[in-house]
Each structure stands twice: as structure tokens, then as C-alpha cells.
Amino acid sequence: MKDKPFEKPFAEVRWVAGIAFLSVLAIILGLIAGHQFLGISRDYPNYLEFFELVRSSDGLFSIDTRFEFGFAALVYWLACLGLSNVAIYGAICALCIMLKGAAIRDSELTLGFIAMLVFFYLSRYFILFEMTVLRASIAFAIAFFVFWRKDERRLKAGEFLLLCIAVTFHYSAIVLLAVYLLGRMPFRASVWVIIGIFVVGVLFRQALFAEFQSFFPVLATYLDVEVSTTIVPLPFMLDMALMAAALYLWRENDVAMQYAVIGMLMSVAVHFSMLEFPIIAARFRELLSVFVLIYILKAFRSESRVIKLLAVAFALGSGMLNLYAMTVYDPLLLG
């Protein structure tokens, strides 16, 4: 069957419009994050200080820092381009937005999808990641790029390599490799492995923390960070409810959504096994929330009316709840 006369030109126009929209959005959000227009995050001065350290170094391998090598290398190259500290921060944020957008470039970007994507991301993720935890934001973007595009369970070297690169930006991203491997296993087997991870975490968390601290000294700084010790934060309770619904609808989920369910299960296991170290539990929970984003955006485009309604209701509720938590209840931004 021949294509309709205007079908191909229309598709090309839509593709160009999508690229233009994504580019403008990335630039705007990069400027907002770089200049901290919404408020100054607690980590922002530390990043600016690190950028100055990179500038004063004799080379990439002479940088004395607790930050991961991948992040140090990226900052070093951006500094070599002559970017200011604010521009470096903004450029990294813009790159994170562009990478996530590149992952969905082949999707049918309806106005409804775009509106839901922008609302849910800005209300739940932008302040937490691009505005605050910059290194984790890069790992988050890489994870989104890999898992969003999963359409088969076969291990692909390129995907695995990308997740390894994510670890060089934030060590907690090592949990993403575990999710990637678990997603290839039969579902029941993966659940038993996750239960095993939970049990090991509960029984040996002190020894594990001491062992990992010897390899990753940055963990020591987590003990000095004040964080809520609530056993189950309200926004996370909503995520757990989504996970329960996703499990019930398992057979209606596509491959990427099933990987996302595994990721959410891993988040629950790590959270409850690391309650004694709330900041570590929070860091893993935050990074693994990429699977919530993936599931909701995939569900919003599902042919199942039930899953689509679930996605809309969750995006609205979770978005508003997290926005309140980050801006009013326990503000992440100062001033």
C-alpha cells in the first residue's frame, strides 16, 4: 500500500517540531538550574567549588576529589571549552534533559503525552535531580535512555556498557546493573533474588556499609547528612501502591514496563533493608524512581484503558504530592 501524499512530509514536520521543542525545553531548564532561579539547592555551592577545583588542576588525573571519575571527566572537558561555572551546571542539566528526550524520539508524541510528560517530570523530578543531585541526574538520564527503549530481554553489550558508565557518575547506579540482569530472569526467580537481597541487607547492613565505605569514602559523608527518618515517606507509599497495581496487571505490561516493575521491587527491598542508614536508603530510592517515570509514561500510552487511567491518576497525585514535599514540607531549595 502506497503512503498517503502528505503522510511523510507531516511526519518529518512533526519530528522537526519535536526536536525543536525538546531543545528549547532543555535550554530553558538548563538556564533555570544553572542560575538556580527557583532557589539555591544545598549541594549547589559544593558543585561550584568543585568546578573551581577542576579549573585549578594540572589535568584530569590530578583532580583530588571524592566525586566519581565520570563526573570529574565531564566537568573537566566542559571547563576546557571555556564554560563558566554556571554554564557548566546548566549544560549538564540540559544534556540530561536531551538524553531523556532522545530516548523517546521514536514515540508518537501527542499533545496529551507531552503535557503529561512535562507536568510529571517538572513536578516530581526536576527539582530533586537537575536542581539538586546533579551527579545522580546524569545516571538517572542514562538509565532512562536504556530501560525506556527495552523491547526484548536479550542482554545487549551497548546497554550494559551505558549502565556501567552511569556508575562512573554516581556509585549508587550499580543497582541499575542488578535490575538489568534481574529483568532477564523469569519473574518468580527475580522476586526470590530481590527477597534475598533484602534479607542480606537486613542481616549484614553494618558490615556491608563498613566494607563499601573502604572503597567509596563518600559514604562517610552520608552519616552527617540530616534526613527524615520516616519509615515510609508518604510519596513512597504512593509508589508502592503503583507497584502493587503494576504487579496485578503484569501480563498487560510491555517489556520496558516489566523491567520497571523489577526496579520498583528493588527500590522497596533496598529501602526497608537500609532503614538504619536513611540517607543511603533515600539515595537508592531516588535513583530507582526512574522506573516509576518509565512505567507511568509507558502506561499513559498503553492500549489498556485501565492502565492509562492509572497512569493519569498517579501522575497527577504523585506530582502534586512530591512538589508539596520538596517545596513546602521539606524544602530542597533555599531562598
- Which grid cell is 269? 527491598
Angle at 180 between CA 179 and CA 186, to 5 degrees: 80
Q: How far apart are CA 157 and CA 37, in angstroms?
A: 40
- Asked whether residue 80 carries a pLDDT value surpassing 90, the answer given is yes
In this predicted structure, which of 118-132, 205-219, 230-244 has the lowest mean pLDDT? 205-219
**Residue 334: what are its φ and ψ, rounded to 5°?**
-110, 145
Predicted confidence (pLDDT) per residue in 159-193, tens digit: 999 999 999 999 999 999 999 999 999 999 999 99
**Residue 209: what are its φ and ψ, rounded to 5°?**
-65, -45
Residue closest to 63 by CA, chosen among 53, 77, 75, 51: 53
In this predicted structure, which of 95-109, 212-226, 294-308 has the lowest mean pLDDT? 212-226
**Which residue carries 502493587 as its cell?**
244
User: pLDDT value at position 1?
Assistant: 46
- The Cβ of residue 197 has, within 10 Å, a number of other Cβ atoms equal to 18
Split at pLDDT 50, 70, 90, the class of 106 is low
- Asked whether residue 89 carries a pLDDT value surpassing 90, the answer given is yes
In this predicted structure, which of 67-71, 109-113, 138-142, 221-225 has the lowest mean pLDDT? 221-225
Asked if 145 contacts 163 with a C-beta cutoff of 8 angstroms, the reply is no
User: In what helix (H) or strand (E) does residue 40 lie, and over which residues does it extend?
Assistant: strand 40-41
* Between 218 and 257, residue with greater pLDDT: 257
**Residue 78: what are its φ and ψ, rounded to 5°?**
-65, -40
Average pLDDT score over the chain: 89
User: pLDDT value at position 107?
Assistant: 58
- Which grid cell is 153? 530481554
**Which residue carries 537500609 as its cell?**
274
- Which grid cell is 174? 550499580
Over residues 82-87, mean pLDDT:
96
- With H, G, I as helix, E, B as strand and everything else as coil, classify residue 63: coil
- Which grid cell is 326? 520538596
The torsion of the CA quartet 67, 232, 176, 147, rounded to 10 degrees, works out to: -120
- Which grid cell is 291? 522506573
- With H, G, I as helix, E, B as strand and everything else as coil, classify residue 264: helix
Question: What angle do helix axes 69-80 and 85-103 make, rounded to 10 degrees?
Answer: 120
Predicted confidence (pLDDT) per residue in 247-294, tens digit: 999 999 999 999 999 999 999 999 999 888 888 888 899 999 999 999
Predicted confidence (pLDDT) per residue in 39-56, tens digit: 999 999 999 999 999 999
